[in-house]
Amino acid sequence: MTSNGRLKISGGRGVKAAFLAGALTLALGTGTAFAYWATNGSGSGSAATGDMQTVTVDALVPGDTPTSMLIPGGTADVVLRVTNPNPYPVQVYSVMGDGPVTADTAHPACTTTGVTFAGSPGPLSPSVSIPANSTALVTLPGAAGMDATSQPACQGATFHLPVTLAVRK
């Protein structure tokens, strides 16, 4: 330090160059750090949802024969022909009755069928999946019952059980 209180740097150009280089590095480093933390960005994105097409239940066709027969006081399997028109598989979650059980048109005197449908309000067990764009038979073991009120005119009838399916993707 000099007598007038000023700091004296000696050494000539080398010291001045080093000092300037250090100051420049510090300034550039601060600018880079500021640029790193202060950057902004923007962009856009999009998504779309699709609607599930209606999964249908159709009457059985010849060849879709149930494996058990319904008799008064007994139960039998219910077989459903389920069509999935969607481009992805669906899981049949539940099957519930949706109206009165009726006999086929060949048995018009069968007005009291005595037939009930034991639906499945919760998840089917085992679970049933219907592949994309396909039709499959779904068997519900013992889901139809017939009590003693069934009329003799119902013998040999095929019963129509209206049902509603709940399906999930």
Query: What is this structure's pTM?
Result: 0.66
CA atoms within 13 A on the CB side of 17: 4
CB 130 within 8 A of CB 82: yes
Tell me the CATH number at 96: 2.60.40
Provide the β-strand partners of residue 139.
79
Residue 18 lies in a domain: no
Q: Is the dihedral of CA 126, 132, 133, 134 positive or negative?
A: negative
Residue 22 lies in a domain: no
Question: Token pair 């139809």 is at which residue?
Answer: 144
- Mean pLDDT for 67-72 is 85
Residue-number span of the structural domain to which 125 is assigned: 56-168
Residue 140 lies in a domain: yes
Q: Count the neighbouring beta carbons within 10 Å of the beta carbon of residue 37.
A: 7
Tokens of 29: 């480093």
Provide the β-strand partners of residue 75.
145
Cα 104-108-111 angle, rounded to 5 deg: 95
Residue 27 lies in a domain: no
CB 140 within 8 A of CB 78: yes
Please, which pLDDT band fits residue 68 given cuts at 50, 70 and 90?
confident
Residue 13 lies in a domain: no
CB 138 within 8 A of CB 82: yes
Domain total of the chain: 1
- Kind and range of the H or E element at 168? strand 163-168
Q: Count the neighbouring beta carbons within 10 Å of the beta carbon of residue 60.
A: 13
Condensed to tens digits (0 to 9), the pLDDT of residues 72-118 reads 999 998 889 999 999 999 999 999 999 999 999 999 999 999 999 99
- Mean pLDDT for 130-159 is 92
From CA 160, how far away is CA 57, in angstroms rounded? 12
Please, which pLDDT band fits residue 18 given cuts at 50, 70 and 90?
low
Residue 84 lies in a domain: yes
Go through the chain and tell me how many residues it has: 169
